[in-house]
Amino acid sequence: MAGVGEFVEADNAEAIITRIEHKSSKIESLLRQGKHVEALKTALEGSPPNTRDERCKSANWIVVHRALMAIRDLDALFSSLDPEYYDILMKYLYRGLSTGDRPTCDQCLRVHERLTQKAGLGCILRTLTDTVNTV
Amino acid sequence: MSAVSVHQLAQCITCHAWSPDHSMIALCPNNNEVHIYKMSEDKWERAHVLQKHDQIVSGIDWGSTSNKIVTVSHDRNSYVWSLEGSEWVPTLVILRLNRAALCTQWSPQENKFAVGSGAKTVCICYYEQENNWWVSKLIRKRHNSSVTSVSWHPNNILLATTSTDGKCRVFSTFIKGVDKRDSKASSSSEAKFGEQIVQLDLSYSWAFGVKWSPSGNTLAYVGHNSMIYFVDDVGPSPLAQNVALRNLPLRDVLFISEKVVIGVGYDCNPMVFAADESGIWSFVRFLVETKTVSSAPTYGSQVRRGLILTLENSSVFS
């Protein structure tokens, strides 16, 4: 993780934004093909928690939000989502809950319930205690 | 060999320590006293009450060769207790702290002890023969927050600390006149008093419960983010591993061998971790599920608030 962090910090914000834009179009095409879980994985991959640039964080959140709201079948999501995504997904769920937007919160709570069953309370603790690598 | 037994010795136990032969246990029942219980006819009976501190006793350690007890308290003082006849006689050690003392441990040779405190400092205390007096030497300006636990390397020089600033650090505590320079002059034994050997920056939340493995090759500590960290090759290029827990965070750990660690925490059920042949650590199981296993190894970690004190009478771990 530390190695990734240094890399992102050295990267400039513009490059991250460009990458996220590229990711966004990939996700749109996955969603059109009905590959919702793949889209969410793509959105979570390479999330920029190590940068302090709020524009990058917001840009990635928009992408994750797009993929997250498209998820309908939670069984399918958790049968194919690898444990390595659990911690980062939990962070985005709390970001979603903090928006206060009704449909977003509804969806985040639905996913949160299932994710907690799957990943345990430890996953929530890692999200709440990490005030450095925020999403 | 041993069945786990449960003894309700107090409503709440803040800290405890075993006597050298494990026939007695010293504990603080969440007040300013230290109670020493002795096993007689399958029952734990209170043998002594040590009353000297003014506030909650936050750390106890019982020297296994010297048979001396060190206690530290929120009253910012420390006492070294030695058994004379049938009486425990206290010697005051002025730590020179302006915040509570939080934890303590005797060094392996028991000629020094370390105290972690809420004053962001660590005290290294040693006995001065000519003055008949325990001296406290401070490691200042290294921690950014309270020091939650201290652990001595078997070489009697290196000390590991964890802090609520999330970091685990290793210091040299070499004191002239107390410690001798190692003939095999390794880099760590050349360091001056208070010199930081390494700072481990693995956790972003409070860190607790640091321990060295019996050989001193591996370091383990826990974070309040439900993670446990294992560090090999502590030095310029440490090799770190972390294991994320499914459950609530741990508070303390104990090595029962080079490859097996017990962790205790807020799930009220000790967890067993083990390293495989390639040195990769993983969670094995909860301890309580295996009550029927007769060869369960002895452990004596600091069981914290909310946990019932569990005592085992099997062989003494070395």
CB B263, CB B283: distance < 8 Å: no
Q: Report the pLDDT value the prediction gives residue A49, as an integer from 0 to 100.
A: 67
Nearest CA in chain A to B242: A1
Q: Report the pLDDT value the prediction gives residue B159, as an integer from 0 to 100.
A: 97
Q: What are phi and psi of B212, to 5 degrees?
A: -90, 150
B270 touches chain A (CB under 8 A): no
Strand partners, B250: B265
Residues of A in contact with B245 (CB under 8 A): 120, 122
- When CB atoms are compared, the residue of A121, A123, A130 closest to B204 is A130
Nearest CA in chain A to B248: A122
Residues 60-119 of A with CB under 8 A from B: 87, 119
**Is B298 contained in some domain?**
yes
Residues of A in contact with B227 (CB under 8 A): 126
- What mean pLDDT is reported for chain A? 88
CATH architecture classification, A2-129: Alpha Horseshoe (1.25)
Our CA-based measurement puts residue B251 at a distance from the nearest CA of chain A, in whole angstroms, of 14
- Per-residue tokens: B300: 């004596």
Nearest CA in chain A to B205: A129
Q: How confident is the prediction along chain B (318 residues), in pLDDT tens digits per residue?
A: 344 788 899 999 999 999 999 999 999 999 999 999 999 888 899 999 999 999 999 999 999 999 999 999 999 999 999 999 999 999 999 999 999 999 999 999 999 999 999 999 999 999 998 888 999 999 999 999 999 999 999 999 999 999 999 999 999 999 988 888 765 545 555 789 999 999 999 998 999 999 999 999 999 999 999 999 999 998 888 899 999 999 999 999 999 999 999 999 999 999 999 999 999 999 999 988 754 443 333 333 333 333 333 333 333 333
Residues of B in contact with A133 (CB under 8 A): 204
Give the CATH number of the domain where residue B165 resides: 2.130.10.10
Q: How many CB atoms lie within 10 A of CB B261?
A: 26
List, as one string, the DSSP characters of B89-147.
EEEEEE---SS-EEEEEE-TTSSEEEEEETTS-EEEEEEETTTTEEEEEEE-SS-SS-E
- Residues with Cβ within 8 Å of B242's Cβ and at least 6 positions away in sequence, in order, are B202, B227, B228, B229, B230
**Is B36 contained in some domain?**
yes
**Inter-chain CB proximity A122 and B204 less than 8 Å:** no
Q: Report the pLDDT value the prediction gives residue A47, as an integer from 0 to 100.
A: 80
A131 touches chain B (CB under 8 A): yes
Domain boundaries, chain A: 2-129
The band of A117, judged by pLDDT with boundaries at 50, 70 and 90, is very high
Judged by DSSP in three states, B219 sits in strand
**Inter-chain CB proximity B204 and A120 less than 8 Å:** no
**Is B316 contained in some domain?**
no
Q: Report the pLDDT value the prediction gives residue B181, as an integer from 0 to 100.
A: 75
- When CB atoms are compared, the residue of A2, A120, A129 closest to B225 is A129
B269 touches chain A (CB under 8 A): no
Handedness of CA B64, B30, B23, B67 (dihedral sign): positive
Cα–Cα distance, B185 to A114 (Å, whole number): 56
- Interface with chain B: mutation pick from A85, A129, A131, highest number of B CBs within 10 Å: A129
Q: Report the pLDDT value the prediction gives residue B317, as an integer from 0 to 100.
A: 35
Residue of B85, B25, B29, B37 whose CA lies nearest to B53: B29
The number of folded domains in chain B is: 1
**Is B134 contained in some domain?**
yes
**Is B38 contained in some domain?**
yes
- Interface with chain A: mutation pick from B246, B250, B271, highest number of A CBs within 10 Å: B246
- When CB atoms are compared, the residue of B204, B206, B246 closest to A122 is B246
The band of A132, judged by pLDDT with boundaries at 50, 70 and 90, is confident
Nearest CA in chain A to B243: A122
Q: Report the pLDDT value the prediction gives residue B5, as an integer from 0 to 100.
A: 81
By residue range, what is the domain housing residue B293?
5-311
Higher pLDDT, A7 or A24: A24
Nearest CA in chain B to A1: B202
Residues of A in contact with B204 (CB under 8 A): 129-133
Nearest CA in chain B to A118: B246
